[in-house]
Each structure stands twice: as structure tokens, then as C-alpha cells.
């Protein structure tokens, strides 16, 4: 495959798609939500999850003060809500009211859990470090909310039941095509 080499990374959208999530927080009686595409698991034991948030964001200060956040994994059918949350600031918009984000109750922390999410984590902040123009916030997952009907017995998301919202960068979203999913057994494909 022919490649072009650039010395300036630019927007570097090459790492997309990524699952589109809505990160939620509650601090001092005020709730907020923001779209986050830069996130990933950090450890199974203990269960850690990381999110990248710009320190310029209203949500960053709320997470820093409350020391907790929620990560809500959204289905493609709710992509307009993800885009709306991502395109507005919580400093002047009550996103839960403005965008009709219904909530389920958290069980361990005081973070909003979005009812339409097919899975959500309640996370207690254990580390927060700034790298470049974003902070990497690591939370310990203290509770997991799962719509069991959308996962197979082995814990893998069932694309016949739900299509995850995927972010491609540049305000572009897509879903996973369930007809292109393959299971490649590591015992077969991992052998040399």
C-alpha cells in the first residue's frame, strides 16, 4: 500500500474510528456531559479506565473537583445526542434538559448514568496528568451498568442487537457493519 509521509501530524485522524462515549459528571449539584472519543481501558486488575479531556473544558474542572466521572457507551441510534453534547458547553447549557438525556441511578458514586447507553462505568479518579493539550484522567471502575441483552455469553457486543456509535474525527460518525465481523481464533492465527 503506497503511503505519503508527513512530518507534521496535523489532526491525525488515522487512529479512528473509536467508540463515541458521553462522559458524565456531577459536582456541587450541577450535572454535565461531554462527548469523548479518546478513551481506553488501562488495567483489568484493578479495573482502570482512562479518558482524555482538555483542561480548557468545563467538564475537566468538574471531574477534577468531584474526583469521579461516568463513561457511557452510546448506540448509533443516539448519535445525534452524542454530537449535540459534544457541540455545546456545559458552562451555559444544561445538556441533560436541553438534549433530553434520561438518567439511571448510579450505585456507588454520584455520577449520571445515561439510560440510552448500552454500557456505562462509574469511575473514581485515581490519577490526572496533563500531556500536551489534554489531561489523561484515570479512573478506577467501581460499578458497571450493562444492558445484558446486547452482549453475547462471552461478553462480546452483539452487533445483531446494537450498533455502537463510532467517531471518525471531523464531526463524522458511523456504525459498525455487522456483516463484516469475523472471529479469528488466536490459537489458529497466532501460531507461527
Instruction: Report the distance separating Cα 144 and Cα 163, nearest Å.
Output: 19
Q: Binning pLDDT at 50, 70 and 90, where does residue 61 land? A: very high
What percentage of residues in the chain have a pLDDT greater than 90?
71
Q: Is the pLDDT of residue 81 over 70?
A: yes
Q: Binning pLDDT at 50, 70 and 90, where does residue 185 land? A: low
Q: Give pLDDT, residue 174.
A: 84
Query: Is there a domain that residue 99 lies in?
Result: yes
Q: Is the pLDDT of residue 190 over 90?
A: no
Query: Is there a domain that residue 159 lies in?
Result: yes
CB 34 within 8 A of CB 74: no
Domain that holds residue 89: 18-189
**CA distances (Å), 84 to each of 23, 46, 100, 156, in order?**
13, 33, 11, 28
Query: Is there a domain that residue 6 lies in?
Result: no
pLDDT in tens, 119-175: 999 999 999 999 999 999 999 999 999 999 999 999 999 999 999 999 888 888 888
Query: Is there a domain that residue 4 lies in?
Result: no
Question: Which CATH number fits the domain that encloses residue 172?
Answer: 2.30.110.10
Q: Is the pLDDT of residue 22 over 60?
A: yes
CB 67 within 8 A of CB 157: no
Q: Give pLDDT, residue 42.
A: 96
Exposed, middle or buried, 50 (CB in 10 Å: 0-12/13-18/19+)?
middle
The count of domains in the chain is: 1
Query: Is there a domain that residue 141 lies in?
Result: yes
Burial 82-95 (b: 16+ CB within 10 A, else e): bbbbbebebeebeb
Amino acid at each position: 500500500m503506497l503511503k505519503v509521509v508527513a512530518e507534521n501530524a496535523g489532526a491525525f485522524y488515522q487512529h479512528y474510528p473509536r467508540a463515541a462515549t458521553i462522559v458524565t459528571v456531577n459536582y456541587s449539584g450541577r450535572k454535565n456531559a461531554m462527548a469523548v472519543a479518546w478513551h481506553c481501558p488501562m488495567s483489568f486488575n484493578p479495573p482502570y479506565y482512562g479518558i482524555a479531556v482538555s483542561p480548557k473544558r468545563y467538564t475537566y474542572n468538574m471531574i477534577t473537583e468531584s474526583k469521579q466521572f461516568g463513561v457511557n457507551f452510546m448506540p448509533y441510534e443516539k448519535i445525534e445526542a452524542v454530537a449535540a453534547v459534544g457541540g455545546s458547553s456545559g458552562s451555559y447549557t444544561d445538556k441533560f434538559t436541553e438534549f433530553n438525556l434520561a438518567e439511571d441511578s448510579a450505585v456507588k458514586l454520584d455520577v449520571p448514568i445515561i439510560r440510552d447507553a448500552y454500557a456505562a462505568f462509574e469511575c473514581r479518579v485515581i490519577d490526572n496528568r496533563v500531556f500536551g493539550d489534554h489531561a489523561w484522567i484515570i479512573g478506577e471502575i467501581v460499578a458497571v451498568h450493562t444492558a445484558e441483552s446486547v452482549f453475547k455469553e462471552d461478553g462480546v457486543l452483539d452487533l445483531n442487537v446494537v450498533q455502537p456509535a463510532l467517531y471518525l474525527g471531523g464531526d463524522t460518525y458511523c456504525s459498525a457493519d455487522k456483516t463484516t465481523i469475523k472471529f479469528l481464533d488466536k490459537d489458529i492465527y497466532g501460531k507461527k
